[in-house]
Structure 1
Amino acid sequence: MPTCVECGSLVRDLYTQYSKDNIRLTSCEKCNRFADKYIEHDFVIIFIDMLLLKPQVYRHLLFNRIAQSGNGIEPHVSRFAILLILFEVYIKWFRLETYYADYNSTFAPRPLYHQYLYILALCVFEFVAFHGFINLAIQVLLIEKVVPCNRYNYVAMALVISSFGKMLLILMVIWDYKQLEYSYLVGLIVLASNTEALSGTQTD
């Protein structure tokens, strides 16, 4: 069912459509605010609110925007996860060439595809380990009744979507920027986004 992005309560519908270009947003019976104000907002506003770390925007994306049924992962989210992994491969490779003193003696002599497969395997392992740790931690908290019930596929999708900040490093490629000293700031943004997205998966 649709979900109120403000309080996380289930609602019957998000809006009433009177004509093609005339809709009226539904108010949540619990919090008396619009159930989903993002229905009328374009992607630019949604992206800005993602940068502003608003949990409401993640409820909109996860529960009201993504056509999701069952316990699987929505195909668009899966493709974005693959894109994030491939992008992480590029960043790690760049860091190895730039900052690892023994790169020329350790990695450079190896065939190019060996280098790529090694870094790809490392990135996949980190991705799986991170998601596995988060899901294990949530299961422990659920057993101890510290957090409300979460749907695990939504937890996985929330982590993927909220990791969009990693793509900000692509500006380094566009501007041919050769330093990554401040890339830890992007990591902090991603971590904060992950936290807000996970809080957004909690519904009443």
Structure 2
Amino acid sequence: MEPRCVECGFPIKTLFVQYSPGNIRLMRCENCKAVADEYIECEFMGSLWKSIFAFLLLDAYRSLLLKRNEGEWGSSMSFSSIVWTFQEIVQDVFVGNFVFFCIFLLSMRLMLNTTIQISRCKDILLAVLVSSYFKIFLIATMVWEFLSSVIFIIDLFVLSSNTVALKVITDSAMNRCIAVCFCAQALKLLVTQVPARRLLRF
């Protein structure tokens, strides 16, 4: 079916022009001069929020797996211990990812000499979220026994995938993209380790 303007119903050739993933320009109706379908941007934002939610959920599960392997999670835990553990997981996920994205953008600015605008941030965020799809392999740990090193192997796959996505989106040298992703991931791991949690208890 031929698309039509949501304002006047006039048929148009296309609703939008896509310049890059997440970077679109909405077309105007030739008849009423209004944006033909302004709700298309809402579809993109909806998929972005769903990606963010899935990313954070998998990160929370990763943190829970690490605690279980370290013996911090078990069936004999008291209610207060469970609440404290969940508080630590939420802290790890939100503080860790906040640090990750801040260092990621800062490293891009310094190492890749990239100017970062709001529309560009949206593209970068989506690229990082989509390229972190290797985290889905954490779900397999619900079925099979595994060593804690498997989690860090998955982290390495995510790191390599983020690096490739950054290279594609910025067209920069591979070694610089590796440096940006490594710095961001290393500081995220540093922030979410035991010393940082001990400091926050005080």
Aligned CA-pair RMSD: 3.6
Q: 2: distance between equivalents of 1:176 and 1:188? A: 20
> Structure 2-normalised TM-score?
0.55
The TM-score with structure 1 as length reference comes to 0.54
Name the CA distance, whole Å, in 1 between partners of 2:111 and 2:150: 34
The equivalent residue for 1:37 is none
- Unaligned regions of 5+ residues in structure 1, if any? 1-58
Give 1:85's aligned residue: 56
The separation in 2 between residues aligned to 1:84 and 1:139, in whole angstroms, is 24
Question: How far apart are the structure 1 equivalents of 2:100 and 2:40?
Answer: 23
1:124 is matched with which residue? 94
Q: How much does 1:202 deviate?
A: 2.5
Give the letter aligned to residue 160 of structure 2.
Answer: A
1:53-74 deviations in whole A, cap 9, x for unaligned? Answer: xxxxxx975558xx986xxx73
| Distance in 2, Cα, partners of 1:118 & 1:125 | 10
1:196 Cα deviation after fit:
1.0
Aligned with residue 136 of structure 1, among 92, 100, 106: 106
CA offset digits 1:101-134 (Å, max 9, x no partner): xx379x9332533321321121111111101111
Deviations 1:49-95 (A, max 9, x none): xxxxxxxxxx975558xx986xxx73212222222212222222222
Given that 1:86 and 1:120 are in contact with CA atoms closer than 8 Å, whether structure 2 keeps it comes out as: no
Q: Quote the Cα distance in structure 2 between the aligned partners of 1:111 and 1:184.
A: 26
The one-letter code matched in structure 1 to 2:82 is: L
Q: How many residues align?
A: 137
Match of 1:168 among 132, 137, 148: 137
Task: Report the residue type matching 1:87 in the other structure.
Answer: L
SS for the counterpart of 1:123 is helix
Q: Quick check: which one's helix share is greater? A: 2
Q: Distance in 2 between matches of 1:80 and 1:104?
A: 28
Change (3 A) 1:181 1:152: same
Separation in structure 2 between the aligned mates of residue 121 and residue 68 of structure 1, nearest angstrom = 34
Instruction: Tell me which structure has the larger Cα radius of gyration.
Output: 2
Q: What is aligned with 1:75?
A: 46
User: CA separation of 1:123/1:149 partners in 2, compared to 1, >3 Å: closer, same or farther?
Assistant: closer
Q: Which runs of 4+ in 1 moved over 6 A?
A: none
Q: Does 1:97 align with 2:65?
A: no
